[in-house]
Amino acid sequence: MALELYHYDRSTCSQKVRICLAELDLDWESRHVDLGTGKHLTPDYLAINPNGVVPALVHDGRPIIESTVICEYLAEVFPHSIDLSPHDPVERAAMRAWLRFIDEVPSMAVRVPTFNRILHFYQKMSAEEFEAFAAKMPLRKHFFLRMGQDGFDGTEYDAALDQLQGTVARMERALDDGPWVLGTNYSIADLCLAPLFARLQDLGLADMWAERPNVTGWYERMTARPAFRKAFYEGSRMTFATA
Ligand SMILES: N[C@@H](CCC(=O)N[C@@H](CS)C(=O)NCC(=O)O)C(=O)O
Protein backbone atom coordinates (compact mmCIF):
# COMPACT_ATOMS: atom_id res chain seq x y z
CA MET A 1 0.00 0.00 0.00
CA ALA A 2 1.49 3.33 -1.06
CA LEU A 3 -0.23 5.59 1.47
CA GLU A 4 -0.65 4.77 5.15
CA LEU A 5 -2.19 7.30 7.53
CA TYR A 6 -1.44 7.04 11.23
CA HIS A 7 -4.33 8.94 12.76
CA TYR A 8 -6.93 9.12 15.51
CA ASP A 9 -10.66 9.36 14.79
CA ARG A 10 -11.32 12.48 16.87
CA SER A 11 -8.08 14.40 16.33
CA THR A 12 -8.57 17.67 14.47
CA CYS A 13 -5.13 17.36 12.87
CA SER A 14 -6.01 13.89 11.60
CA GLN A 15 -9.36 15.16 10.31
CA LYS A 16 -7.57 17.79 8.20
CA VAL A 17 -5.52 15.14 6.46
CA ARG A 18 -8.53 12.84 6.01
CA ILE A 19 -10.42 15.69 4.29
CA CYS A 20 -7.41 16.30 2.06
CA LEU A 21 -7.09 12.62 1.13
CA ALA A 22 -10.81 12.52 0.31
CA GLU A 23 -10.64 15.72 -1.78
CA LEU A 24 -7.82 14.17 -3.79
CA ASP A 25 -9.80 10.94 -4.08
CA LEU A 26 -6.87 8.89 -2.78
CA ASP A 27 -6.96 5.39 -1.37
CA TRP A 28 -5.12 4.98 1.89
CA GLU A 29 -4.54 2.39 4.53
CA SER A 30 -5.74 3.34 8.00
CA ARG A 31 -3.37 2.88 10.94
CA HIS A 32 -5.43 3.95 13.91
CA VAL A 33 -3.34 5.28 16.80
CA ASP A 34 -5.33 5.22 20.03
CA LEU A 35 -4.33 8.35 21.96
CA GLY A 36 -6.42 7.17 24.93
CA THR A 37 -4.13 4.22 25.54
CA GLY A 38 -0.92 6.09 24.69
CA LYS A 39 -0.19 4.34 21.38
CA HIS A 40 1.32 7.60 20.09
CA LEU A 41 4.11 7.26 22.67
CA THR A 42 5.25 3.73 21.81
CA PRO A 43 8.77 3.29 20.38
CA ASP A 44 7.31 2.00 17.11
CA TYR A 45 5.19 5.12 16.59
CA LEU A 46 7.91 7.49 17.82
CA ALA A 47 10.17 6.03 15.12
CA ILE A 48 7.63 7.35 12.58
CA ASN A 49 6.77 10.62 14.33
CA PRO A 50 9.33 11.58 16.99
CA ASN A 51 6.98 14.36 18.17
CA GLY A 52 4.60 11.71 19.56
CA VAL A 53 1.50 13.26 17.98
CA VAL A 54 -0.86 12.24 15.19
CA PRO A 55 -1.13 12.30 12.26
CA ALA A 56 1.76 10.86 10.29
CA LEU A 57 1.64 9.82 6.67
CA VAL A 58 3.87 7.07 5.34
CA HIS A 59 4.23 7.18 1.57
CA ASP A 60 6.01 4.19 0.07
CA GLY A 61 7.74 3.62 3.40
CA ARG A 62 8.82 7.26 3.93
CA PRO A 63 7.25 9.18 6.83
CA ILE A 64 5.89 12.70 6.45
CA ILE A 65 4.77 14.50 9.60
CA GLU A 66 2.89 17.71 10.51
CA SER A 67 -0.70 17.78 9.29
CA THR A 68 -0.39 20.98 7.27
CA VAL A 69 2.85 19.80 5.67
CA ILE A 70 1.17 16.47 4.85
CA CYS A 71 -1.71 18.31 3.12
CA GLU A 72 0.68 20.42 1.05
CA TYR A 73 2.68 17.29 0.21
CA LEU A 74 -0.41 15.40 -0.94
CA ALA A 75 -1.65 18.32 -3.04
CA GLU A 76 1.77 18.59 -4.67
CA VAL A 77 2.30 14.89 -5.36
CA PHE A 78 -1.28 13.95 -6.31
CA PRO A 79 -2.83 16.98 -8.03
CA HIS A 80 -5.12 14.82 -10.23
CA SER A 81 -8.67 15.61 -9.31
CA ILE A 82 -8.61 19.07 -7.74
CA ASP A 83 -6.13 21.92 -7.30
CA LEU A 84 -5.88 22.52 -3.57
CA SER A 85 -2.98 24.96 -3.81
CA PRO A 86 -2.91 28.08 -6.00
CA HIS A 87 -0.50 28.10 -8.95
CA ASP A 88 0.21 31.81 -8.67
CA PRO A 89 3.16 32.22 -6.24
CA VAL A 90 1.63 35.29 -4.55
CA GLU A 91 -1.65 33.48 -3.96
CA ARG A 92 0.22 30.41 -2.77
CA ALA A 93 2.10 32.64 -0.32
CA ALA A 94 -1.23 34.03 0.89
CA MET A 95 -2.46 30.47 1.46
CA ARG A 96 0.71 29.62 3.39
CA ALA A 97 0.26 32.72 5.55
CA TRP A 98 -3.20 31.40 6.44
CA LEU A 99 -1.74 27.95 7.15
CA ARG A 100 0.90 29.45 9.45
CA PHE A 101 -1.77 31.45 11.26
CA ILE A 102 -4.03 28.39 11.59
CA ASP A 103 -1.20 26.29 13.05
CA GLU A 104 0.01 29.00 15.42
CA VAL A 105 -3.24 30.49 16.66
CA PRO A 106 -6.59 28.62 16.44
CA SER A 107 -5.12 25.10 16.34
CA MET A 108 -3.34 25.79 19.64
CA ALA A 109 -6.24 27.72 21.17
CA VAL A 110 -8.88 25.06 20.49
CA ARG A 111 -6.98 22.61 22.70
CA VAL A 112 -7.75 24.69 25.78
CA PRO A 113 -11.56 24.27 25.79
CA THR A 114 -11.16 20.73 24.44
CA PHE A 115 -8.88 19.52 27.22
CA ASN A 116 -10.89 21.33 29.88
CA ARG A 117 -13.78 19.07 28.86
CA ILE A 118 -11.86 15.79 29.14
CA LEU A 119 -10.21 16.38 32.51
CA HIS A 120 -11.92 13.34 34.00
CA PHE A 121 -9.42 11.27 32.03
CA TYR A 122 -6.49 12.93 33.82
CA GLN A 123 -8.22 13.20 37.17
CA LYS A 124 -8.26 9.41 37.40
CA MET A 125 -4.46 9.55 37.77
CA SER A 126 -2.57 10.27 40.99
CA ALA A 127 -0.46 13.46 40.93
CA GLU A 128 2.66 11.32 40.40
CA GLU A 129 1.08 9.36 37.56
CA PHE A 130 0.01 12.59 35.87
CA GLU A 131 3.51 14.05 36.10
CA ALA A 132 5.03 10.85 34.75
CA PHE A 133 2.46 10.88 31.91
CA ALA A 134 3.29 14.52 31.03
CA ALA A 135 7.02 13.81 31.17
CA LYS A 136 6.64 11.19 28.42
CA MET A 137 5.36 13.77 25.90
CA PRO A 138 8.11 14.79 23.50
CA LEU A 139 6.30 17.99 22.51
CA ARG A 140 3.41 18.47 24.92
CA LYS A 141 4.98 18.10 28.37
CA HIS A 142 4.63 21.76 29.32
CA PHE A 143 1.16 22.03 27.82
CA PHE A 144 0.01 19.24 30.16
CA LEU A 145 1.87 20.68 33.15
CA ARG A 146 0.27 24.09 32.56
CA MET A 147 -3.14 22.45 32.28
CA GLY A 148 -2.62 20.32 35.40
CA GLN A 149 -5.35 18.00 36.59
CA ASP A 150 -7.69 20.92 37.32
CA GLY A 151 -7.62 22.32 33.80
CA PHE A 152 -6.70 25.69 32.35
CA ASP A 153 -7.60 28.65 34.53
CA GLY A 154 -9.89 31.51 33.57
CA THR A 155 -7.11 33.72 32.21
CA GLU A 156 -5.75 31.08 29.87
CA TYR A 157 -9.26 29.93 28.91
CA ASP A 158 -10.37 33.50 28.11
CA ALA A 159 -7.23 34.12 26.07
CA ALA A 160 -7.88 30.97 24.01
CA LEU A 161 -11.49 31.97 23.39
CA ASP A 162 -10.35 35.45 22.40
CA GLN A 163 -7.96 33.93 19.85
CA LEU A 164 -10.72 31.74 18.45
CA GLN A 165 -13.09 34.71 18.20
CA GLY A 166 -10.29 36.65 16.47
CA THR A 167 -9.95 33.82 13.96
CA VAL A 168 -13.67 33.93 13.20
CA ALA A 169 -13.50 37.73 12.75
CA ARG A 170 -10.50 37.41 10.42
CA MET A 171 -12.34 34.81 8.34
CA GLU A 172 -15.49 36.92 8.20
CA ARG A 173 -13.46 39.73 6.60
CA ALA A 174 -11.64 37.41 4.19
CA LEU A 175 -14.90 35.77 3.15
CA ASP A 176 -16.29 39.13 1.95
CA ASP A 177 -14.41 38.08 -1.21
CA GLY A 178 -15.40 34.40 -0.83
CA PRO A 179 -16.87 31.88 -1.09
CA TRP A 180 -13.59 30.43 0.25
CA VAL A 181 -10.98 32.04 2.47
CA LEU A 182 -8.70 32.75 -0.48
CA GLY A 183 -11.54 33.94 -2.68
CA THR A 184 -12.94 31.92 -5.52
CA ASN A 185 -10.65 28.92 -5.09
CA TYR A 186 -11.19 26.31 -2.43
CA SER A 187 -7.78 25.45 -0.93
CA ILE A 188 -5.87 23.69 1.83
CA ALA A 189 -6.59 26.72 4.03
CA ASP A 190 -10.32 25.88 4.04
CA LEU A 191 -9.86 22.21 4.82
CA CYS A 192 -7.41 23.03 7.64
CA LEU A 193 -9.95 25.35 9.26
CA ALA A 194 -12.95 23.03 8.97
CA PRO A 195 -12.07 20.56 11.77
CA LEU A 196 -11.57 23.46 14.19
CA PHE A 197 -15.12 24.60 13.52
CA ALA A 198 -16.46 21.07 13.91
CA ARG A 199 -14.68 20.90 17.27
CA LEU A 200 -16.09 24.27 18.39
CA GLN A 201 -19.53 23.03 17.41
CA ASP A 202 -19.00 19.83 19.44
CA LEU A 203 -17.92 21.99 22.38
CA GLY A 204 -21.17 23.96 22.17
CA LEU A 205 -19.32 27.08 20.99
CA ALA A 206 -20.98 27.52 17.58
CA ASP A 207 -22.50 30.77 18.82
CA MET A 208 -19.11 32.24 18.06
CA TRP A 209 -20.11 32.59 14.41
CA ALA A 210 -23.89 32.80 14.74
CA GLU A 211 -23.75 36.53 13.91
CA ARG A 212 -21.15 36.06 11.17
CA PRO A 213 -23.04 35.38 7.92
CA ASN A 214 -19.93 34.81 5.80
CA VAL A 215 -18.50 32.24 8.20
CA THR A 216 -21.90 30.60 8.66
CA GLY A 217 -22.23 30.18 4.88
CA TRP A 218 -18.62 28.95 4.60
CA TYR A 219 -19.15 26.28 7.27
CA GLU A 220 -22.37 25.13 5.58
CA ARG A 221 -20.53 24.83 2.25
CA MET A 222 -17.64 23.07 3.95
CA THR A 223 -19.75 20.47 5.77
CA ALA A 224 -21.75 19.79 2.58
CA ARG A 225 -18.61 18.67 0.75
CA PRO A 226 -18.43 14.90 0.22
CA ALA A 227 -14.80 14.99 1.44
CA PHE A 228 -15.86 16.48 4.77
CA ARG A 229 -18.50 13.79 5.25
CA LYS A 230 -16.01 11.07 4.37
CA ALA A 231 -13.41 12.40 6.82
CA PHE A 232 -15.95 12.75 9.63
CA TYR A 233 -17.17 9.18 9.67
CA GLU A 234 -19.24 7.78 12.53
CA GLY A 235 -17.34 8.11 15.81
CA SER A 236 -15.05 10.91 14.70
CA ARG A 237 -16.83 13.75 16.51
CA MET A 238 -16.24 14.58 20.18
CA THR A 239 -19.17 13.79 22.41
CA PHE A 240 -17.65 14.93 25.70
CA ALA A 241 -19.21 12.15 27.74
CA THR A 242 -17.89 12.34 31.29
CA ALA A 243 -17.78 8.60 32.00
N1 LIG B 1 1.46 20.36 14.68
C2 LIG B 1 1.02 18.99 14.73
C3 LIG B 1 0.12 18.83 15.93
C4 LIG B 1 -0.39 17.42 16.05
C5 LIG B 1 -1.20 17.22 17.33
O6 LIG B 1 -1.18 18.04 18.24
N7 LIG B 1 -1.92 16.12 17.37
C8 LIG B 1 -2.72 15.84 18.55
C9 LIG B 1 -4.10 15.40 18.13
S10 LIG B 1 -4.93 16.70 17.22
C11 LIG B 1 -2.07 14.71 19.33
O12 LIG B 1 -1.55 13.78 18.76
N13 LIG B 1 -2.09 14.79 20.65
C14 LIG B 1 -1.52 13.79 21.48
C15 LIG B 1 -1.77 14.08 22.91
O16 LIG B 1 -2.42 15.08 23.20
O17 LIG B 1 -1.32 13.32 23.76
C18 LIG B 1 0.29 18.63 13.44
O19 LIG B 1 -0.40 19.51 12.91
O20 LIG B 1 0.43 17.50 12.95
CATH number at residue 150: 1.20.1050.10
Q: What is the pLDDT of residue 241?
A: 54
Residue 226 Cα, ligand 1 centroid: separation in angstroms? 25
Helix (H, G, I), strand (E, B) or coil at 42: coil
**Band of the pLDDT at 57, cuts 50, 70, 90?**
very high
Mean pLDDT of all residues in 90-108: 98
93 and 202 part of one domain? yes
Nearest of 110, 103, 104, 108 to residue 200 by alpha carbon: 110
Q: What is the pLDDT of residue 20?
A: 98
Which position has the higher pLDDT, 232 or 36?
A: 232
User: Is the pLDDT score of 130 beyond 50?
Assistant: yes
Q: What are phi and psi of 6, to 5 degrees?
A: -90, 115
User: Is the pLDDT score of 71 beyond 70?
Assistant: yes
Neighbours of 100 (CB within 10 A): 11
Can you give the length of the chain in residues? 243
**Is 238 part of any domain?**
no
Choice from 13, 70, 141 to test ligand 1 binding pocket (greatest atom count within 8 A of CB): 13
CA 189 – CA 95 distance, rounded (Å): 6
Which domain does 208 fall in, by range?
89-226
Helix (H, G, I), strand (E, B) or coil at 66: coil
User: Is the pLDDT score of 240 beyond 80?
Assistant: no
Which residues are bridge partners to 5 per DSSP? 30, 57
Yes or no: say if 103 and 68 are a contact pair by the CB < 8 Å rule. yes
17 and 129 part of one domain? no
CA 133 – CA 141 distance, rounded (Å): 8
Atom of ligand 1 minimally distant from the CA of 16: 19
- Specify the DSSP class assigned to residue 177: G
Q: What is the pLDDT of residue 1?
A: 56
- Specify the DSSP class assigned to residue 141: H
Q: What are phi and psi of 111, to 5 degrees?
A: -65, -30
User: Is the pLDDT score of 242 beyond 80?
Assistant: no
174 and 203 part of one domain? yes
Q: What is the pLDDT of residues 176-222, one digit of tens each?
A: 999 999 999 999 999 999 999 999 999 999 999 999 999 999 999 99
Give the number of domains in the chain.
2
**Is 70 part of any domain?**
yes
**Is 232 part of any domain?**
no
172 and 139 part of one domain? yes
**Band of the pLDDT at 162, cuts 50, 70, 90?**
very high
CA 184 – CA 177 distance, rounded (Å): 8
220 and 116 part of one domain? yes
131 and 209 part of one domain? yes
Residue 79 Cα, ligand 1 centroid: separation in angstroms? 26
Q: What is the pLDDT of residue 243?
A: 41
CA 57 to chain centre: 15
CA 172 – CA 215 distance, rounded (Å): 6
Choice from 46, 54, 74, 115 to test ligand 1 binding pocket (greatest atom count within 8 A of CB): 54
CA atoms within 13 A on the CB side of 73: 15
- Whole-number mean pLDDT of the chain? 96
53 and 126 part of one domain? no
96 and 198 part of one domain? yes
What share of the chain has pLDDT > 90, as a percent? 95
14 and 61 part of one domain? yes
